[in-house]
Amino acid sequence: MNDLVKERTPQIIAAEINNYKESTGRIQLSCAVEIGRRLMEAKALLPHGEWGKWLQEYVSYSQLTAERYIKVAREYGQTRGGSPGEEKAKSSTLKILSYSQALTLLDVPEEERVEFIAELDIENMSVRQLQRAIKEREQARQEKEETEQENRELQKALEGEKAENSELKKERDDLEAKAGELEKEKQNLEQDVEKRKAENSKLKEKPLFKSNQKLRADLTAAQIKNATHKVAFKFEALERAFKELTYELNLLLMIDKDVYGEYRKTLRKFLLKCLDEKVGN
């Protein structure tokens, strides 16, 4: 039995790959998946460092081209354990896509790919048209994300405004409460002032208060009289001293006019200074 099973070698795998390549000019996705699977198989069998040489010699692929086929096989040929409906949709996708289309669609996340393909007339689209559709989808996605982000920021700002308004309302309520307390205190003070005025009015009517007022008036009159006497005495003393000074200066004039002149200037300055100084407040 085992003798009937051919051993899988890189050369056999290369022949199978070339067969898929020659089967159709426009490589369908199903063929590309099979090519990718066999490239993975061959890569696992080849010694280290022989991969690039084998690609060039047996299948005429560059390593970049081979990696693209392998990626397509992994993305479109693997069973991911989805629901029967999802697997059926994937199977339908394999039938209508070309390799170039499938490669282009790798830019669309796997979980969105089937739905995206279903929205397009994929069989009649060129790769360039498909690229444009993917670009437009990405732009729409970005605009949606930006709009959602803007909405989140607006919602956050709105919540901030609500919180600030709530805080302002609380402050306003506190101020109104304090204003009420101050108004109450004001009324109490006004009542206290009126009470004290009434008490003072009654106090003025008492004999002791009237006697106290008379004593204050007598004391003030005595102080005025005493101050008047002192001022009159000082003024008389000043007048007498000035007359004596004038007499002595006249005597000095007859003895020495120059010395008299100096003293006269000094006296003039002194009198002017006395006149410039404030008397009292």
Please name the helix (run of DSSP H) or strand (run of DSSP E) that holds residue 189, with its range, or none. helix 127-204
* Domain membership flag for residue 54: yes
Please check whether residues 105 and 11 belong to one and the same domain: yes
* Domain membership flag for residue 187: no
* Domain membership flag for residue 196: no
Domain boundary among 125, 142, 164: 125
Domain boundary among 125, 146, 169: 125
Closest by CA to 79, choosing from 69, 94, 67, is 94
Please check whether residues 107 and 222 belong to one and the same domain: no
**Would the pTM count as exceeding 0.75?**
no
pLDDT in tens, 40-67: 999 999 999 999 999 999 999 999 999 9
Q: Determine the average pLDDT of the residues in 194-214.
A: 73
β partners of residue 184: none
* Domain membership flag for residue 257: yes
CB atoms within 10 A of CB 38: 23
Separation CA 11–CA 164 (nearest Å) = 76
CB 119 within 8 A of CB 127: no
Contacts for 89-97: CB closer than 8 Å, 24+ residues apart: 89/114, 89/118, 90/114, 93/29, 93/117, 94/28, 94/29, 94/30, 94/33, 95/28, 95/29, 95/30, 96/122, 96/123, 97/28, 97/29, 97/122
* Domain membership flag for residue 134: no
What is the pLDDT confidence band of residue 4, given thresholds at 50, 70 and 90?
very low
pLDDT at 248 > cutoff 60? yes
Give the percent of the chain with pLDDT over 70: 85
Domain boundary among 106, 125, 144: 125
* Domain membership flag for residue 174: no
Which domain covers residue 269, as residue numbers?
207-276
Please check whether residues 9 and 114 belong to one and the same domain: yes
pLDDT in tens, 129-186: 888 999 988 888 888 888 888 888 888 888 888 888 788 888 888 888 888 888 888 8
* Domain membership flag for residue 269: yes
Q: Determine the average pLDDT of the residues in 91-113.
A: 81
Separation CA 86–CA 89 (nearest Å) = 5
Tokens 């006269």 correspond to what residue? 264
* Domain membership flag for residue 159: no
The CA-CA-CA angle for residues 66, 59, 108, to 5°, reads 25
CB atoms within 10 A of CB 40: 16
pLDDT in tens, 190-200: 888 888 877 77
> How many structural domains comprise the chain?
2
Give pLDDT, residue 279: 57
Please check whether residues 120 and 11 belong to one and the same domain: yes
